C-alpha cells in the first residue's frame, strides 16, 4: 500500500505533518501502509508557508500508483488550484485511490480535481463561505467529514483528528488507540481567551466550547 | 528575537512541527519572534524518524544568538545525547536564551546540556522511568511543565500545548487564543479504545480520561 502526501509551495506545515505523523506512525508501528511518500511536481525542495523546507520523496513523473492521497491546505492552495499539472495529478491518482483526504483549504484542490461535486465536505473556518460559494459542495461545519471515499477536515490541527478517524475506519478503534497513545494525543482542551466564541466559529467549535464550559463549572 | 528549533537525524516529526506551526504562526500573524530558524549541525538535509527530509536554515557554525531554543524528541535523541557538538551547541546557546523548551525525549538532550539539574521536567510517558533514573530531575507527570526558563512537555503532540502555554506566558492569553483559533486547535478529545487507561499512563492522562468519561455520562 502506498500513502501519498501531496506537497507544494506555501502549504501550511501542520496541515501536512499532523496526518504524516499519525499515518507514518501507523505504518511503522501498527502495520499501516508500507510506503508513506511526500510527492511534489518536481524533486526541488518545497518551501512551506512558514518557511520549513522539505525535500520530496518522489515527483509526479515517478510517483507509483497511490492507494491513498492526502492534500494539505495553506495559502499555496490559492495558486495551486490553477496549476493544471497538480490538479491533473490529483484527479488521475484519485481514480484508483481507496480514499482521498484533505486538510484545511486542501479541500479547494480536491474540488478543482472534480472530487467534491454534490459531496459533503469542510475546510478551515475562515474559508467556509468561500467553499459554500462554489455552489456544488454540501458544506458541513464539523471537524472531520467523510463522504464515501472522500475525507475532509477543518483547519490545520484538524488533520490530526482526521487521520485518527481514518485509521479507525481502516484498521479499527484499537489500532487508532495505539497511535493516539504513541503520540500521546491527550490535548488539554483549554480555550485560550475564549476565542471559540467568535461569531464566525463553525458549529462544531461552538459546541466544543459549550462542552468545555460545562466541564469547568 | 530569534527562535531556534534544533533539528537532527531521527527526530520525531510532530515533536518539531507542532511547536513550529504555533510559534511561526505567532511570528507571522501576531508579532511573535521575527526569526524562526531550524538549526542543525551542518546544512545537509535532516531525515526525521518517519522519513520526512528537512533542509536546515542555519548550521551551528553560522547560527545567530538565540533568544529561544526548542529541542524536539524522537529516537534520534538516544544517539544525539552522545554528540558533543550538539550538546555543546545547546549548552552554549542556553546561556543567553530567555527560555529553553523541549518536547518528548528532547528532555534528555536538555539534561545532557546541564539544564535540568534539580529542576522539574517531563517527557514521553514511555520514558518517564528513564528520566527518573537520571537521579537529579524532579519528574512531573503533567502535559506541560515549566521550571523557571526551562519548559518541557510530554510526548509528540504535547508540543502543541507546550507552545500555546509558552505563547500565553510571553504575550498573554488573548494572543495565545488568536493562534489557537488560527490553527483551529479545538481537538475532539475522544479516547480511541480507552488506551489512556493503560497502567503506565502518566497522571495527567488518567485525569484526562476521567474528565472525558464524566463528559460522556
Q: What is the pLDDT of residue A114?
A: 98
pLDDT higher than threshold 90 for residue B156: yes
Q: What is the pLDDT of residue B13?
A: 98
Q: What is the pLDDT of residue B153?
A: 98
pLDDT higher than threshold 80 for residue B77: yes
Q: Return the higher-pLDDT residue of B209 and B191.
A: B191
Give dist(CA B18, CA A158) in Å, integer.
12
Q: Return the higher-pLDDT residue of A214 and B169.
A: B169
* Of residues B154, B168, B190, nearest to A192 (C-beta): B168
Give dist(CA A123, CA A106) in Å, integer.
8
B210 band by pLDDT with thresholds 50, 70 and 90: confident
CA distance B59 to chain A (A): 14
Q: What is the pLDDT of residue A57?
A: 98
CB contact under 8 A, B54 and A53: yes
Residues of chain A with CATH 3.40.50.880: 2-186
B209 band by pLDDT with thresholds 50, 70 and 90: confident
Q: What is the pLDDT of residue B213?
A: 66
Q: Retrieve residue B86's grid coordinates.
A: 550538539
Give dist(CA B216, CA A109) in Å, integer.
36
DSSP H stretches of helix in chain B: 13-29, 77-80, 84-94, 107-112, 128-133, 158-171, 173-182, 203-216
CA distance A136 to chain B (A): 25
- Best residue of B192, B194, B197 to probe chain A, by most A CBs closer than 10 Å: B192
Answer whether B72's CB lies under 8 Å from B16's CB.
yes
pTM over 0.90: yes
Q: Report the CATH number of the A2-186 domain.
A: 3.40.50.880
Is A104 an active-site residue?
A: yes
Q: What is the DSSP letter of B126?
A: G
pLDDT in tens, chain A (217 residues): 999 999 999 999 999 999 999 999 999 999 999 999 999 999 999 999 999 999 999 999 999 999 999 999 999 999 999 999 999 999 999 999 999 999 999 999 999 999 999 999 999 999 999 999 999 999 999 999 999 999 999 999 999 999 999 999 999 999 999 999 999 999 988 999 988 888 899 999 998 877 766 666 5
Find the residue in A nearest to B177 (Cα).
A192
Q: What is the pLDDT of residue A216?
A: 60
Instruction: State ipTM.
Output: 0.96
* Count of A-B CB contacts under 8 Å: 195
Give dist(CA B77, CA B170) in Å, integer.
28
Find the residue in A nearest to B176 (Cα).
A192
Average pLDDT over residues B116-120: 98
Residues 6+ apart with CB under 8 A from A138: A118, A119, A120, A121, A147
Amino acid at each position: 500500500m502506498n500513502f501519498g502526501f501531496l506537497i507544494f509551495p506555501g502549504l501550511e506545515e501542520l496541515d501536512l505533518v499532523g496526518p504524516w505523523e499519525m499515518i507514518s506512525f501507523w505504518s511503522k508501528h501498527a502495520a499501516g501502509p508500507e510506503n508513506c511518500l511526500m510527492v511534489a511536481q518536481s524533486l526541488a525542495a518545497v518551501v512551506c508557508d512558514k518557511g520549513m523546507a522539505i525535500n520530496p520523496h518522489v515527483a509526479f513523473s515517478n510517483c507509483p500508483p497511490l492507494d491513498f492521497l492526502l492534500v494539505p491546505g495553506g495559502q499555496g492552495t490559492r495558486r495551486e488550484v490553477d496549476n493544471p499539472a497538480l490538479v491533473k495529478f490529483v484527479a488521475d491518482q484519485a481514480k484508483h485511490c481507496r480514499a482521498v483526504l484533505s486538510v484545511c483549504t486542501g479541500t479547494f484542490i480536491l474540488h478543482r480535481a472534480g472530487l467534491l461535486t454534490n459531496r459533503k465536505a469542510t475546510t478551515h473556518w475562515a474559508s467556509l463561505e468561500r467553499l459554500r460559494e462554489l455552489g456544488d459542495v454540501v458544506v458541513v461545519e464539523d471537524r472531520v467529514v467523510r463522504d464515501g471515499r472522500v475525507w475532509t477536515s477543518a483547519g490545520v490541527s484538524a488533520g490530526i483528528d482526521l487521520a485518527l478517524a481514518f485509521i479507525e475506519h481502516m484498521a479499527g478503534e484499537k489500532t487508532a488507540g495505539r497511535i493516539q497513545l504513541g503520540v500521546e494525543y491527550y490535548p488539554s482542551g483549554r480555550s485560550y481567551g475564549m476565542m471559540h466564541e467568535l461569531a464566525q466559529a463553525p458549529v462544531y467549535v461552538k459546541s466544543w466550547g459549550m462542552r468545555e464550559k460545562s466541564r469547568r463549572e
